[in-house]
Amino acid sequence: MGKLAGKRALVTGGTRGIGRAIVDAFAAEGASVAFTYRSSTDEAEALKAELAERGVNALCFQGDAADPKSADEAIAGVVEAWEGLDILVNNAGVTRDGLLLRASEDDWDTVLDTNLKSVFNFCKAAYRPMMRQRNGRIVNLSSVVGVMGNPGQTNYAASKAGIIGFSKSLAKELGARNVTVNVVAPGYVETDMTAALPEAAREAMLSAVPLGRGAEPGDIAAAVVFLASDDAKYITGHVLHVDGGLAM
Q: What is the tens place of the pLDDT at every residue in 13-39? A: 999 999 999 999 999 999 999 999 999
Element (H, E) at 180: strand 179-186
Task: With cut-offs at 50, 70 and 90, classify the pLDDT of residue 62.
Answer: very high
**pLDDT, tens digit, for every residue of 67-97?**
999 999 999 999 999 999 999 999 999 999 9
Predicted local distance difference test score (pLDDT) of residue 205: 79
Q: What is the mean pLDDT of residues 126-139?
A: 98
pLDDT value, residue 108? 98
d(CA 54, CA 125) in angstroms, rounded, equals: 29
Is 40 in a helix, a strand, or coil? coil
Check residues 119 and 190 and name the one with the higher pLDDT: 119
pTM, full prediction: 0.96
- Identify the band that residue 174 occupies on the pLDDT scale cut at 50, 70 and 90: very high
- For 190, residues 6+ apart whose C-beta sits below 8 A from its C-beta are 214, 215, 216, 217
DSSP assigned state of 215: B
Among candidate residues 37, 127, 156, 188, the one labeled active-site is: 156
pLDDT-based confidence at 203, cuts 50/70/90? Answer: confident
pLDDT tens profile 143-158: 999 999 999 999 999 9
With a cut of 80, say whether residue 121 has pLDDT above it: yes
How does residue 191 score in pLDDT terms, banded at 50, 70 and 90?
Answer: confident
| CA–CA dist 210, 223 (Å, integer) | 19
Q: Is there a catalytic annotation at residue 234?
A: no
Which domains does the chain carry?
8-240 (3.40.50.720)
Is a pLDDT exceeding 90 seen at residue 204? Answer: no
- Measuring CA to CA, how many Å separate 223 from each of 71, 103, 204? 24, 33, 25
Residue 201 scores a pLDDT above 80: no
208 three-class SS: coil
70 in Cβ contact with 37 (< 8 Å): no
In one-letter notation, the amino acid at residue 191 is T
